[in-house]
A = this chain, B = another copy of it.
Amino acid sequence: MQRLRIDYTLCMEEALGPTHGLSRYLVEALRLPLEAARTHLGEQRRAGGLQWMDLPRRDPADLLEFAAWSAGRFDDVVVLGIGGSALGTKALSNALLRPFHNLRSADERKGAPRLFVLDNVDPDEIVGLFSLLDLRRTLVNVISKSGTTAETMAAYLVARKLFIDVVGAAALPQHLVFTTDPLGGVLRKIGRQEGIPLFEIGSGVGGRFSVLSPVGLLPAALAGMDVPGLLAGAAEMDAWIGETDVISSPAFVFAALQFLHYTRNKRRSSVMMPYSHALVDVADWFRQLWAESLGKAVDRRGRTVNVGPTPIKAVGATDQHSQVQLYVEGPDDKVFTFLRVEQFDHTVIIPELHADEHAIAYLGGTSMAGLLNAEQEATAWALAQRGRPSLTITLPRVDAHSVGQLLYLLEFATAVSGELYDVNAFDQPGVELGKEATYGLMGRPGFEEIAERIRRGSGDEDNSRLYRLE
């Protein structure tokens, strides 16, 4: 199988000049920190602390067996999850299912169910989704490690009630499957009491590193994606990362380049711009991985740092007509990661029509893929002319193997980045306050005080209402 490639020429001073570009000596100067990162991550891994690194070698037999049982039983699979319990499935399904999968007939889907991910609590969206489904032919996969995620559990309660009404409480174990903590939590308890099938998220597998656990792979198996191919690609990337000197190892180089642009050139934003419809949602998945792992108030020594690159999703070529004006002419505060595909599934040759109209005739006889990749190359080049750095990750084609490589590469690079920024890449303390505030506003017992604080308002109560236009 072919590997993905990374070209970072347009990050470097040979392309951008010494002010805007990085020198090879600067990259080389990170050798010691990168080797320390490798050592530290290796120690944690051997101590059993980074179980997500071992997911590529987990046997998926249980997932495939469940998928085999489900085959033909369901027209629709609905994932209820949010954040790391949704973004991986979205990325996988957009990459590996045929475009517009859910709009195709059952025949065209070859019996695979439609796949929906509900990751919000908008009532109109929820009513809209459930009005599409025949619940007798629907499987709902509820995903929450703790079983207390408010959005997911609210949607679960709605779905559960609908199932009870339509198929009856006794049939719930045939329509629900839970993916949750292996040891505790509400979902595990309910599942065991009621005989609802359970899949486990490993203890050392945080939500945003869970795409290759049953969190991402159960929906993938249910929709007929190539789960062993995904795992094999990820395992191959793990081997490549591990075998190679840090200055040539893709995860270490990716992390180092991003870190240097952030710290040396104060490029605080990291734009991921896939030139592939299939890879668009990978950028959204990466947004969580990068933002939640690296956006931290304190470093590992407890010092206040308020650090973290802001990941931004852009879509090539589409956003050339939306964001590139800013990217080229605005502040030089971004580094760009292009995702590019060498071989698409289909070849579309642009027809030679309107041969007398020179402004469009040149397109005739060329291919759509050629146009898309020319646009990527042109955009990277135009950015470089203005001193704006980019690196390009090229997938030989979009298949389970290459997507497995890509996702694992980005996960590992995130762990390396945590070492470089010296932050804990695996916690998310900053979301607690908002969660508690929501609990308070929703009347959850034990959170009355925070509700009171919010209601009192944050400033002078009399003044606060003056800042309102209506």
Q: Which residues of B contact A19 (CB under 8 A)?
A: none
With contact pairs A125-B277, A128-B98, A382-B434 given, residues A359 and B186 touching in the complex (Cβ less than 8 Å): yes
Protomer copies:
2
Q: Which residues of B contact A302 (CB under 8 A)?
A: none
Of residues 120 through 172 on chain A, the ones whose CB sits less than 8 Å from some CB of chain B are: 120-129, 132, 146-151, 153-154, 157-158, 160-161
With contact pairs A100-B129, A291-B323, A317-B121 given, residues A360 and B329 touching in the complex (Cβ less than 8 Å): no
Using an 8 Å CB-CB cutoff, how does the interface string of A65-105 with B read, 1 for contact, 0 for none? 00000000000000000111011000000000011101110
Say whether B437 contacts A467, CB under 8 Å. no
Q: Which residues of B contact A260 (CB under 8 A)?
A: none
Q: Quick check: which of A50-58, A210-218, A219-227, A361-369 contacts chain B, the rest being far away?
A: A361-369
Say whether B310 contacts A269, CB under 8 Å. yes
In the complex, whether A465 has a CB less than 8 A from a CB of chain B is yes
Say whether A325 contacts B459, CB under 8 Å. no
Q: Quick check: which of A35-43, A174-182, A440-448 contacts chain B, the rest being far away?
A: A440-448
In the complex, whether A470 has a CB less than 8 A from a CB of chain B is yes
Q: Which residues of B contact A287 (CB under 8 A)?
A: 322-323
Chosen A-B contacts, 22 in total, with CB atoms closer than 8 Å, are: A3-B470, A6-B469, A6-B470, A8-B469, A9-B464, A9-B465, A13-B459, A14-B459, A14-B463, A83-B322, A103-B132, A126-B348, A127-B348, A147-B359, A151-B375, A190-B354, A253-B469, A295-B329, A307-B330, A308-B326, A310-B331, A325-B431
Q: Which residues of B contact A313 (CB under 8 A)?
A: 313
Say whether B157 contacts A120, CB under 8 Å. no
A146, A249, A307, A430 — most chain B CB neighbours (10 Å): A430
Say whether B126 contacts A318, CB under 8 Å. no
Say whether B324 contacts A310, CB under 8 Å. no
Question: Which partner residue on chain B sits nearest A374 by CB separation?
Answer: B441
In the complex, whether A377 has a CB less than 8 A from a CB of chain B is yes
In the complex, whether A115 has a CB less than 8 A from a CB of chain B is no
Number of interface residues of A (CB under 8 A): 155
Q: Quick check: which of A196-204, A228-236, A339-347, A411-419 contacts chain B, the rest being far away?
A: A339-347
Of residues 1 through 49 on chain A, the ones whose CB sits less than 8 Å from some CB of chain B are: 3, 5-16
- Taking the closest CB of chain B, its distance from the CB of A463, in whole angstroms, is 5
Q: Which residues of B contact A323 (CB under 8 A)?
A: 287-288, 291-292
Q: Which residues of B contact A308 (CB under 8 A)?
A: 326, 329-331
In the complex, whether A320 has a CB less than 8 A from a CB of chain B is yes
Q: Which residues of B contact A295 (CB under 8 A)?
A: 325-327, 329-330
Q: Which residues of B contact A332 (CB under 8 A)?
A: 306
Q: Which residues of B contact A437 (CB under 8 A)?
A: 377-379, 381-382
Q: Which residues of B contact A429 (CB under 8 A)?
A: 325, 329
Question: Which partner residue on chain B sits nearest A326 by CB separation?
Answer: B295
A287–B271 alpha-carbon span in the complex (Å): 14
Q: Which residues of B contact A151 (CB under 8 A)?
A: 317-318, 321, 371, 375
Say whether B374 contacts A459, CB under 8 Å. no
Say whether B321 contacts A375, CB under 8 Å. no
Q: Which residues of B contact A372 (CB under 8 A)?
A: 120-123
Q: Which residues of B contact A104 (CB under 8 A)?
A: 132
Q: Which residues of B contact A11 (CB under 8 A)?
A: 467
A312–B334 alpha-carbon span in the complex (Å): 13
Question: Which partner residue on chain B sits nearest A384 by CB separation?
Answer: B458
In the complex, whether A106 has a CB less than 8 A from a CB of chain B is no
With contact pairs A268-B268, A306-B329 given, residues A14 and B464 touching in the complex (Cβ less than 8 Å): yes
Question: Which partner residue on chain B sits nearest A345 by CB separation?
Answer: B124
Q: Which residues of B contact A439 (CB under 8 A)?
A: 362
